[in-house]
C-alpha cells in the first residue's frame, strides 16, 4: 500500500511541475506585455461603476466580464494618446491589460491596468 502512495505522490509532483513550467512559459510568450500582465481584447457592452465587456480574444478566459477601472489605470485612444473614462463608448473594442487575476464572481471581475481603444 505504501508503494502505491509513493507512486501517486511522484506522479502528482511530475504533473504539477509540468503545469508550472507550461504556465510560466505561456505568460512570457508576448514580449510586449509587462511581466506578470495579461491582455485581452473585448467589446464594451455597458458603462457604469464598472465596465461590462464581452471577451473577444484571450488565451485564458471568455464570456462576459466586469472590469474595475481604478484611477491609476492608463486609458488610451487608438493612437496611444491619453483619454478619460468619459471617452469610452458602448460598442468600442478595447485591449485590456490586467494582472491575470480574476475574481471568481458572476460575472468574473478583473482590475484593469491599461485600456486601449482599438
pTM: 0.70
More confidently predicted of 27 and 99? 99
Share of the chain above pLDDT 70, in %: 69
How far apart are the C-alpha atoms of 57 and 109, rounded to whole Å? 16
pLDDT tens sequence across 16-56: 444 333 344 433 344 455 666 899 999 999 999 999 999 99
Is residue 63 within 8 Å of residue 40, measured between CB atoms?
A: no
DSSP string covering 16-78: HHHHHHHHHHHHTS-TTSPTT-EEEEEEEEEESSSEEEEEEE-SS--EEEEEE--TTSEEE-T
3 state SS of 8: helix
Task: Show the cell assigned to 97.
Answer: 491589460
Question: Do strands 38-47 and 93-98 pair parallel, antiparallel, or not at all (unpaired)?
Answer: antiparallel
**d(Cα 78, Cα 93) in Å, to the nearest integer?**
10
Mean pLDDT (whole number) for 1-18 = 51
What is the predicted pLDDT for the residue at 59?
87
The candidate with the shortest Cα–Cα distance to 82, out of 111, 116, 50, is 116
Amino acid at each position: 500500500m505504501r508503494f502505491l502512495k509513493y507512486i501517486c505522490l511522484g506522479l502528482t509532483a511530475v504533473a504539477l511541475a509540468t503545469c508550472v513550467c507550461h504556465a510560466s512559459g505561456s505568460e512570457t510568450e508576448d514580449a510586449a506585455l509587462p511581466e506578470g500582465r495579461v491582455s485581452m481584447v473585448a467589446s464594451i457592452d455597458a458603462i457604469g461603476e464598472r465596465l461590462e465587456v464581452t471577451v473577444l480574444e484571450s488565451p485564458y478566459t471568455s464570456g462576459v466580464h466586469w472590469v474595475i477601472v481604478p484611477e491609476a489605470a492608463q486609458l488610451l485612444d487608438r493612437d496611444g494618446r491619453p483619454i478619460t473614462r468619459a471617452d469610452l463608448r458602448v460598442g468600442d473594442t478595447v485591449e485590456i491589460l490586467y494582472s491575470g487575476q480574476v475574481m471568481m464572481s458572476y460575472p468574473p471581475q478583473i482590475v484593469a491596468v491599461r485600456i486601449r481603444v482599438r
